[in-house]
Each structure stands twice: as structure tokens, then as C-alpha cells.
Amino acid sequence: MKRRDVLSALGLSALGAASLGGLALAVPRGQTGEMVPSRVPLPRPFRVPLPIPAVARPVRTDAATDYYEIVQRAADQEILPGVRTRVLGYDGTFPGPTLVTRSGRRAVVTHRNDLPGPVAVHLHGGHTPADSDGYPTDLIQPGGRRDYTYPTRQRAATLWYHDHRMDFTGPQVYRGLAGFHLVTDDEQDALGLPSGERDVPLMISDRSFDEDGSFSYPASHHGAGVDDAHMEGVLGDVVLVNGAPWPVLEVAAVRYRLRLLNASNARRYRLGMDPARTPLVQIASDGGLLEKPIEHSTVLLAPGERCELVVDFAAFPPGTEITLRNSLGSGGTADVMRFRVTGRGRDNSRIPPQLSRIEPLSAERAVRTRTWTFRRSPTGEHPGWLLDGRAFDPERIDADVRLGEIEVWRFTSDLYHPVHVHLDPFQVLSRRGDGPGPHDQGWKDTVDLAPSESVDVAVRFTDYPGRYLLHCHNLEHEDMAMMAAFRTT
């Protein structure tokens, strides 16, 4: 079959008007998802300041461990100016507080659940023992609490924590359960990268708002997940950065480190600066520093992915406005945020030509190749998303993997699927049989698969035996069972 026939045989609506002769209307290009229109008047962009989430303080520390406490609760937050939105928040805020932990120091985070429904907390990118990894059925019931232990035996990186409740991750993250968790270490501190106020976490997520100001999530009426009309993924029409719509950050004409995280349920972004006079210098990806900086004119970011950039505003005179745009968006979703240069500043930062060393996981050392297929398919009465032809079963182990061994995992797709693996990062070996793409460098834990694509990655799990997950990070696909469990031994 030709590609087009394959696609129409699947009955897909998410391919954009071009491939279906103009039948698909509201489907933005480069996306697998359906737009939910807001039903409140939306603000004009670039009016509100960029919020920076508060950094959590340990409630106590001892020689080896920092202890934190987070209460998950509902609260009203003014996200759109003059509109109150009920959020489900870590400490009642969206985004939640940022945890900053040191490589080699243990962090114990006690979560208390003051929400009406169960929750599970996953540290995305964490090298975490299985009982603290937030398996979707390891729930904290309302009124309950649980300690999550993070040994932090991993290098510096931009991690994030978010809800992972079985069948409800999409709605719960959408309503606010997401925050940053930054790991720091000596290697990174020694580089002289921009730091302090010039090291800025940017959580990008799209949302839509209902008439009463609430987040508009098209939940299904039979309980779990999303309604059938939005099974492709929920796309919002407002772009939030750190929970604010199209915000503005005032900057000096110096270098900044921008830690980009795509925390959207389903939306992909292609981000670039306008005017484009300043290159985007990538220094890190999901699993921390790259070996060497890479210059991009735009960066592609799928749900779950992180990309760290150093951007130098030195070329812009005070008063210049530089807009971060999304070329995969249209209308409001084509804009993300704005930087306003307020004045000159002293800048001692630098970008060393060598950032780190990365041990290559070569395919020759792999003990086997496993194939994982991400495809849409009905499950019983309802449409669903399957991994290897099966719906997720939390009691089933889909693969046994030995700790310390390298394996090649081949991911294949029908549509866009951002594939995420828990426990340890991987390295991208090839895309469609060619080399890795421009955004595949370094240690990754989430890789963006385009329609009908095949991507080979090298995985190697270390330290912790137990049950872990591999899944699509389009949260609607995840909730509709595009997830598998592997066991490390």
C-alpha cells in the first residue's frame, strides 16, 4: 500500500488537510491531537510577567538526606488575568514548587494527598528505585501520604515530576500536577554557564478554559481518560509558560540559560526566536549536558522532552523585544513568550566547547534487539492506542531486561508518538535507518516519533531491579493504554 492508503485504512483524522483532501478541518499540522476551543475571552499576549516557580526548601536535612514535604491540594489560581481557575496543585500551585537536589545526595519527598481522588507521583528522568517510581497502580489514596525516595545517583539534569495515576494521568496533569526537579552537580557548576537569575526553567503547556474559568478537559463519561472525540490528544488554544499565558521576561543584554520543558499533554512545538538574530545554543537534553554545544535555528520539542539552551541577548539594544515563537502553531499557539531587553549587564558566563563526556552505547555491544510498535487500534467498544498490539495491563510484565546489559530498542509508529522510558536514559542510534536527528543528541529519556517512523535507541538499565514503564507521553495515548511494563533483574 502507498502511505496514503495505509493512513486512510487506519481511518485517521489527525493528518492534516493535505493528506485527506481537505476533510480534516481543525487538525493542526505536526500534531496528533484535537483542539479544544476556549469559551472565555482570551487575553492579549505578552501582558503578564513570567512567573518563576518557588524553590522547595527541605523541612529537615541530615548528613546524607534532604527531606521535603508536598501537599497535593486544589486551589484557585489567576492564570488568565481576572479569571479564577481551579488547579490541582503540588502545594496548591501550578506549576508545583521546584525541587533542587544535588547529585549523590538522597532526597525523600513526602507527598500528602488532600485531593478528592487518588494520585501517583513519577519523577520523569529520575534514576529511581521501583517502589518510588510512581507505578500507575501504586496510588496515594485521598487523605493518605507516601514517601518517595530519590537516591539521586545521576548526573545534573532538568527533571520534572508529575502525576501518573492509571487511566487519569492526562486530566490530572492538565489540571496542574506538574513541577520541575533540577539535579545539580560539580561538573556542571565548574563550566561557568549562566546561573542564578539567568538560569530560567520554562515549563511550556497548552490549555483551554471553559466559560467558568476552569480548565476545559474533555474527560470521558465512562470514567477513565478522555472522551472518544479527543482520543488523538488534547490540544489547548492558550500557551502557558510556568502557568502564565504568553508571558514576558525582562532580561539584560547577556547570556541566559533556558531550560525548556514540554509539559503539554499532546502538543509538539518547533521553537525559534523572532527576530532570529541570536542562535539557540543547545547545551543539554533530557539526561543533562551534551558533549559539545550544538547550534540550532529552531528546536523541536515533543511532550515530555527537555532541551536546554544558552541564548545571548548581547546583540540587542535596550528596548528590543524578542519573541519565542512556535512554527507548528497557528493563531495564539504560534506564540509562546517574549523577552524584553531592559539594559546592559556584566556577563562572566561562558559556553565551553567541551561540556561533558558521554560514553557511547554502541549497537555492537547490544545483546539483543527488541521491537516496540506504537499503533492505534480499537480495544473492545472504544478506540484505543496499543503498544505491541496490547493494551497496558499493570499486572503483566511485557519484557525482562538484565541490569547492565545493552539492548537495542526499535520503536515504530503510525502517528506522532513521543516515547518515554523510565529508570535510565538511552541514546538514539538511528532514525529511519539514517543517523540520529538534530534533536537526538546526548542522553534522552523521551524520543519524538513522527508518523510511520522507526527509531533505534540503545538502552542500558543499572542499579535497581523491579517493575518499570515504557509508554507514549501523549498523555491521552498513555491513558488509553499505550504503555508497557518491563522488569529489570
> What is the layout of strands, in order, in the sheet containing 406-413?
382-387, 369-379, 406-413, 454-460, 426-431
Q: If binding means CB under 6 A, how many residues of this protein chain bind ligand C2O?
A: 10
Asked if 443 and 288 touch (Cβ cutoff 8 Å), the reply is yes
Residue tagged 479527543 (cell numbers): 230
d(C-alpha 316, C-alpha 312), whole Å: 9
Which residue's Cβ has the minimum distance to ligand C2O? 124
Which of 161/372 has CB closer to Cu ion? 372
C-alpha cell at 130: 521501583
Which of 70/387 has CB closer to Cu ion? 387
Smallest distance, ligand C2O to C-beta of residue 272, A:
25
Binding residue (CB under 6 A) for ligand C2O from 338, 376, 420, 431: 420
Give which of 349, 313, 188, 329 is closest to 270, Cα–Cα.
Answer: 329
What is the maximal distance between C-alpha atoms in the chain? 65
259 binds ligand C2O (CB under 6 A): no
- Binding mask of the shown chain, residues 448 to 487, with x at each position contacting Cu ion by CB under 5 A: ------------------------x-x--x----------
- Binding mask of the shown chain, residues 162 to 181, with x at each position contacting ligand C2O by CB under 6 A: x-x-----------------
d(C-alpha 66, C-alpha 58), whole Å: 6
d(C-alpha 229, C-alpha 411), whole Å: 26
Q: Which does 122 bind (CB under 5 to 8 A by kind): Cu ion, ligand C2O, none?
A: ligand C2O
Burial 346-357 (b: 16+ CB within 10 A, else e): ebebebeeebbe
Which of 131/187 has CB closer to ligand C2O? 131
Binding residue (CB under 6 A) for ligand C2O from 429, 469, 484, 485: 469
Smallest distance, ligand C2O to C-beta of residue 181, A:
11
Which DSSP category does 18 fall into?
A: G
Which region, left, alpha or beta, applies to residue 191 given φ > 0 means left and ψ of -120 to 50 means alpha? alpha
Smallest distance, ligand C2O to C-beta of residue 178, A:
9
Q: Which does 257 bind (CB under 5 to 8 A by kind): ligand C2O, Cu ion, none?
A: none
d(C-alpha 26, C-alpha 8), whole Å: 17
Whole-Å CA distances, 76 to 215, 290, 306, 453: 11, 39, 28, 42
d(C-alpha 390, C-alpha 363), whole Å: 27
> Which listed range, 207-215, 252-260, 364-372, 466-474, lies at the site for ligand C2O (CB under 6 A)?
466-474
Which of 252/469 has CB closer to ligand C2O? 469
Q: Which does 340 bind (CB under 5 to 8 A by kind): ligand C2O, Cu ion, none?
A: none
Which of 122/259 has CB closer to ligand C2O? 122
376 binds ligand C2O (CB under 6 A): no
Q: Which does 474 bind (CB under 5 to 8 A by kind): ligand C2O, Cu ion, none?
A: Cu ion
For residue 426, give every residue at least 6 positions away whose Cβ sits within 8 Å of its Cβ, in sequence order, or none.
361, 409, 443, 444, 445, 447, 457, 458, 459, 460
Smallest distance, ligand C2O to C-beta of residue 466, A:
14
For residue 2, give every residue at least 6 positions away whose Cβ sits within 8 Å of its Cβ, in sequence order, or none.
none
101-130 residues near ligand C2O, rule: CB under 6 A: 122, 124
304 binds ligand C2O (CB under 6 A): yes
417 binds Cu ion (CB under 5 A): yes
Q: Which does 146 bind (CB under 5 to 8 A by kind): Cu ion, ligand C2O, none?
A: none
Binding residue (CB under 6 A) for ligand C2O from 471, 472, 477, 481: 471
Q: Which does 469 bind (CB under 5 to 8 A by kind): Cu ion, ligand C2O, none?
A: ligand C2O
439 binds ligand C2O (CB under 6 A): no
Give which of 243, 289, 287, 286 is closest to 264, Cα–Cα.
Answer: 243
Whole-Å CA distances, 461 to 75, 96, 192, 214, 425: 39, 29, 31, 41, 8
Give me the residues that bind ligand C2O (CB under 6 A), please: 122, 124, 162, 164, 304, 420, 422, 469, 471, 473
Give me the residues that bind Cu ion (CB under 5 A), please: 417, 472, 474, 477
